[in-house]
Structure 1
Amino acid sequence: MQYLLLIYRNEADLAHANPEERKKISAEYGAYTQSIIQSGHFKAGDGLQPTSTATTVRVRDGKMLTTDGPFAETREQLAGYYLVDAKDLDTALGLAARIPGAKTGSIEVRPVMIYDN
């Protein structure tokens, strides 16, 4: 079964990190990504640009409305994701707990919907 592991963190923490801290974070994510690739769990994954680059789209009465930024302001922002293949929720939770961002932010684990044809 596929699970989406959504990584949430406070953007301000990364913005205030010095170059050495950013390099360490990048190395941790690189090592984690390599480990799940080698284990066969990895399907896809990427980091996201800051919420200041986001645009929210809504359609009301047939008209597209856009707003700069995310839909809602929160303490933690969506920073990236991994799409993984795991035999069950416990395996997906174990993978999520190893994501470096789990130490300072949170990881939402959500099963991917399966559509019957």
Structure 2
Amino acid sequence: MKYVILIHSNPDPWGHPAERYTPEGRVLPPEQHEEMSREFDALLAEITASGEFVAAEALGDPAAATLYAWTPQGHLATDGPYAEAKEHLAGLFLVDCATRERAEELAARFTGPGSVVELRPVMWPGGEDA
């Protein structure tokens, strides 16, 4: 079953890895960031070796986004970000796991200082959740 792991964060300034730019992450010592980086690399190696890794992308600054909305008069384009919320979508991972429990275990491991991780099943054609 495929799941998307959405990483929401509020880095200021915007940058990757996001945890280095959040208020919570900026107060951590360099040694802790290095350890977190090693743990992240190990997680990626694990899910790649297991075949669970499908794809991943880090996203650029929300201020560089263009939003498109439907109106009866036609499509309307506006500059981003979409919401005035503090958190924005920083990146995503697509994983293919045998169970939801495994996907939940992986999603929890993607959390970092100043981030919130959302796990969501991927919809297949026909509207059924994976």
Q: TM-score if structure 1 supplies the norm length?
A: 0.80
Instruction: Summarize the alignment of residues 68-83 of structure 1 with structure 2, pairs less than 5 Å apart.
Output: 68-83=79-94
Runs of 4+ in 1 over 3 A off after TM superposition: 23-31
Matched letter for residue 14 of structure 1: Y
User: Identity of aligned pairs, percent?
Assistant: 38
Structure (1 or 2) with the greater helix fraction: 1
Q: Is the 8 A contact 2:67 2:82 kept in 1?
A: yes
Matched letter for residue 95 of structure 1: L
State the partner residue of 2:115.
105
- Distance in 2 of aligned mates of 1:81 and 1:38: 19
Instruction: Summarize the alignment of residues 15-30 of structure 1 with structure 2, pairs less than 5 Å apart.
Output: 24=34, 29-30=40-41
State the partner residue of 1:5.
5
Distance 1:58 1:5, change over 3 A: same
> Paired residue for 1:84, among 77, 95, 112?
95
Q: Compare relative contact order (CA 8 Å, sep 6+) and give the higher one, 1 or 2.
A: 1
- Distance in 2 of aligned mates of 1:6 and 1:55: 19
Aligned residues: 113
Q: TM-score if structure 2 supplies the norm length?
A: 0.73
Deviation by residue 1:54-95 (Cα, 9 ceiling, x = unmatched): 111012114121111122121211000000001121111101
Q: Could you list the runs of 5+ residues in structure 2 that have no partner in the other structure?
A: 13-19
- Distance in 1 of aligned mates of 2:53 and 2:65: 26
Q: Tell me whether 1:50 sits opposite 2:49 in the alignment.
A: no
Shift of 1:48: 0.4
